[in-house]
Structures are given as C-alpha cells and as structure tokens.
Chain A
Amino acid sequence: MQKMLGNKKAYWIFVIPALVIYLVMAFVPIAMSGYYSTMQWDGIGEKIFIGISNYLKLLKDEAFLLSARNSLILAVASIVGQLIPALFFALVLARNVKGEKIYRTIYFIPVLLSTVVIGQLFLKIYNPDYGALNAILKSFGFKGQDWLGDKRFVLASSFFPIVWQYIGYHMLILYTGIKSVPSDIYEAAQIDGANERQMAFHVTIPLIKSTMKVSLTFAVIGSLKLFDLIWVLTKGGPLHASEVPSTLMYTSIFSRMEYGIGSAMAIFIVLECLIFYFLIEKLFKVENITY
C-alpha cells in the first residue's frame, strides 16, 4: 500500500500535465503582466523600462480614478441590492414555503445566462425608441429616456442588470447555508416561543455568518473584476461615465496600444481584489461552526 501511494514516478505522471498547463497559462502570464507594467511599450517597438511611472500615472489619470470609483459604487450597490433581497428570499424559502423548489429554480435562472445574452437583452429593454422600459414609462405618461447614452443614467442603467443577475446566486448560497443548520436548533427555539422573525434574526443569521461572508466576498470581488456586461452595454461610455478598471484596461491595451499602462491596470485589479479579500477576512472574522 505504502509502496503504491508513495510512488514518486506515478505521482508526477498524475500531476505534471495539469501543472504545466497551469504554469504556462496562469503563473507565467501574471509574472509577465508585472514585468510589462514597468515598461513603456506599444506592443511592437522597443520596450523602455520606466519603473513605477505607469502606476504613478494611473493615480493622476482622471478616467482611471473615475473607473475605480465606479467599481466601488458597484460593490456597494451589489452588497445592498443583492445580499439583502437574497437573504430575505433565502430565509423565506428555507422555511418550507409551499412551492419552495419551483421558486428556487426560477430565481436561479438569470445566473445561468451568458452576459452577452443579458447585455443584448438589456440593450433592447433600454432602447430609447422602441425599448420596453420607455414603452412602460410612456404608457404611464412619462417621458422616455436615453438610458445608456445619458451620463446621468448610464451608471445606474448598466449596474442594474449586474445586480439583478446575481441575486439568485447569493440566494442559493445563503439558502444552502441555512439548510445546513440542524433542525433541532429551530425546534428548540420554537419550544422557547420564538416567532419566525425572532428565529431569523437571533438563530439563523448568527449561525450562517460564515456563509454570509462568502456571499459578501463574492459580491465585492465580482464587482471589482466586472468586465463583460459593461463591455456589451456601453464599452465604458459615454465619455468614461460607465467606465470600470477592466474596460479601461481593455481599451488601453487593444485600442490605444498602451501595453505598459494597461498591464499596470491589470496588476492594480489583481491587487485590489486581494486587498479586499483579506480586508473582508479580517473585518468579519467568524469562527466556523461545526455541528
């Protein structure tokens, strides 16, 4: 037995293919991004080493600062707009409501849709001339708006589908967390005369704190990384009004051929995600509860 499972040759045969693919496609590229971020480079000519100048430039670049601010707004919007309704529906569905499974199945559907599809769909909903949203507004006598072309509305209009799409995801995460609480705890609370609301706030929520932290981490990191939906809806426009760091990174690299500064943005996104990850870990230290 020990001979079999201590067989070094077999071990490496099992491990090496995945290790090589992963090294070449993930670890080496990250190092390369770090390297490019210290260069002035248009992708074709000579690379000129400029140290941390790219990063310093970013800190003074208005479009970039705006994009970073937008992604933080989105993070807050996601926490409020996703986690609160998700927690509510998770609590309700986990308490054996009639039709629990059907509701759960339906609520989760938007999560599965491709962002390209959701983006195209919302382009049709927001269409200023024939879109569904303006049709509703007009039927109530209001004026239609150019939801994605107007600087005043574009941020809210492009963030709404993102927040909407993942409510069902967080609901399911929290629901699973609630379901893993053993039922005798609820029975005990019921015997003590707790009503549904008291049980939710004093029994369930304290017991699923670690699951809630997972949801929180996901909502925040997902917002900081967001690319797809903004790209489909606005590409960051009009005039950077809906820009997020990843869309700006993309246009810097592939439209303006600024490989150095684009890489600095990529590294910024990675670091920002890591910082927020550890921040959430530190701020919401919860011990894992085992039953």
Chain B
Amino acid sequence: MKKIKPTKVLLHVVLVAFAIVQIYPLLFLAFFSLKDNNEIYSGNVMGLPKEFHWSNYENALFNANVGHYLLNSIFVTLIVIVVSDILACMVSYAIARMRVKANRFVKPFFSIGLMIPLHAVLLPVFIMLRNLKMLDTYQAIIVPYIAFALPMAIFFMIGFFQVLPMELEESAFLDGCGIFRTFFTIILPLVKPALATISIFTFLSTWNEMMFAITFINSEKYRTLTVGIMQMVGQYTTDWGTMGAGLVVATLPTVVIYLLFSNQVQSGMVAGAVKG
C-alpha cells in the first residue's frame, strides 16, 4: 500500500478550502434567491433554504422585467459577436496575408487600440450619441461594443492566420477563384476554432460591460441585464429573494457556457491576457 504523505493531505486541504472560498459566494447567491425575507430576517442568511420559493424567479422574470433584460442582453451580445467576428476576420486576413504598403500603419493602429481604456472615450462618445439622437437605443451600446471588441479579436486572429498554411489559398487562386470567394468559402471555414475563442472573449466582455450600458441606456425597453439590475436595486433592496433570482438569471448563461466549453473559455481568457 502506498503511504500517504501528511504534506500531501495538507495540500489538498488548502486546495479544497480555496475552492470553497471561490465557489461559496455563488452558492450563497443561489440559496438566498430561493428564500423569502422571513427566513433571512430570522437568521438563516447563509445556509440552504428551508423552503424553495420558486415564486422569486417568477417575480424577477416578469414583475421586475429581468426576462426582458435577459432578451436584450442576448440580442445585443449576439449582434456584437457576429459583426465583430466578421470585421476582425476581414482585417486580420488582410493584415496577415496581403502585401500592401498601407499595412505598415494599419497594424499598429489596431495594436494601440489594445491599450485604450473605455473611460477615455466615455464622455465624447456620450456627446456624439446625444448629438446624433442615438442615446437610449440598441445602437448606442452595440456600435461602441463592436469597436472595443475589435483590437483583441484582430490581435488574436492575426496570430492564427500567420500559422495557417497557404497551400489551400494558392490552389484556389490557381483555379481562378477570386480573393473574396477564396476568403468566404475557403478561409472562413478554416478559422472556426479561432473564431470560437474570440467569440467567447467578446461574449464575456459584452455581457458583463457596465460603464457604457448605464450611461448610454436608460429606458426600460433597451436595458440590458447590467443596467436592469442596477435599476432594480432601488425598488427591490429589501426583497432579497427577487433580487437574488434576478442575479442568478443574469449569471446563469455565463456559467452554462463555461461549464460546456471550459477549456475554450480558459484559453480565450488567457489569450486576452497575453496580448500584453
């Protein structure tokens, strides 16, 4: 029988303890989303709910409109992902493959973009949107989100195109296939794995973005989850269960995607970091 070393046991105790620290706040959230105020105020803040109050979810989704915010978030995020993926693919293909002099300034142009924080553009974009009467519309957040998803996506895609072998394109060109047809029918299908990675990255940053959303969006109709939840706070501060249910609804899509694609999510987020 193998001897179990005490240091090894201690190590696993530390690992498990840290796992609890990381996951407990989420469990705490799931628990209180199913409690009613009586239970919380009478002292059971942290533990499992005694009774499961699913009505909290009904209340959050329909009365507090979280269902509507969820649909808005899905709509906005999908458009941002699709458009920024296509645009990023086109640019990075041109930068990585084509030999045109303008490349010398187009590439650094987008690299600088990696360093621009959203704060620096908040007020000017706000004024721009106000002048164009575009505040409080879907476009008000979709367009800036696309813009700020681009540098990262382009950076990642260029790296991918640079290691993609050229034979397929060469033979397509020899067969008389034009550059656009080659791009859409030969290249795009080849970059699917890279697209998955940048889509996940864009999904997370768009889904969770707050500063633009709370500034550019106000009316009920266009609120995404981040805005909606910030607005819910005033009305539902004392209603823990409904608030908790709203937070769970806002979090669930991310957690589900993570559990399904945990490897891609992890590598996508690391790729985002290593951009430097």
Contacts and interface: CB of A to CB of B under 8 A. Distances in A.
B100 interface: yes
A33 B124 contact: yes
A114 B87 contact: no
Interface in A235-291: 246, 249-250, 253-254, 259, 262-263, 266-267, 269-270, 273-274, 277
B21 to A, nearest CB: 8
B122 A266 contact: yes
B121 A30 contact: yes
Nearest to B41: A130
Given A22-B113, A227-B211, A253-B123, A89 B18 contact: yes
Given A115-B210, A117-B247, A33 B150 contact: no
B269 to A, nearest CB: 7
Given A15-B106, A232-B210, A259-B123, 17 more contacts: A18-B90, A21-B147, A22-B110, A25-B143, A33-B124, A36-B124, A106-B22, A108-B258, A124-B240, A130-B41, A136-B46, A173-B270, A214-B276, A215-B273, A217-B276, A227-B119, A228-B210
Interface in A86-121: 89, 92, 97-99, 103-118, 120-121
A231 B115 CA distance: 22
Contact of A112 (B12, B178, B204, B270): B204
Nearest to A136: B46
B243 A120 contact: yes
Give the interface size bracket for A toward B.
Answer: 35 or more
Interface of B: 11-12, 15, 18-19, 21-23, 25-26, 28-29, 32, 40-41, 43, 45-46, 87-88, 90-91, 93-95, 97-100, 102, 106, 109-110, 113, 115-117, 119-125, 127-128, 143-144, 146-148, 150-151, 154, 170, 173, 178-180, 182-183, 204, 207-208, 210-211, 215, 225-226, 229-230, 233, 240, 243-244, 247, 250-251, 254-255, 258, 262, 265-267, 269-270, 273-274, 276
A94 to B, nearest CB: 13
29 contacts: A1-B170, A5-B97, A10-B179, A12-B102, A15-B90, A21-B143, A22-B113, A25-B148, A29-B120, A89-B18, A103-B15, A106-B19, A109-B26, A114-B207, A115-B210, A116-B208, A116-B225, A120-B233, A125-B25, A130-B240, A167-B22, A172-B266, A218-B273, A225-B117, A227-B210, A227-B211, A228-B210, A231-B210, A263-B123
A173 B122 contact: no
The 10 closest A-B pairs by CB, nearest first: A25-B147, A29-B124, A29-B121, A32-B124, A14-B94, A114-B208, A14-B90, A18-B87, A11-B100, A18-B91
Contact of A214 (B106, B120, B123, B274): B274
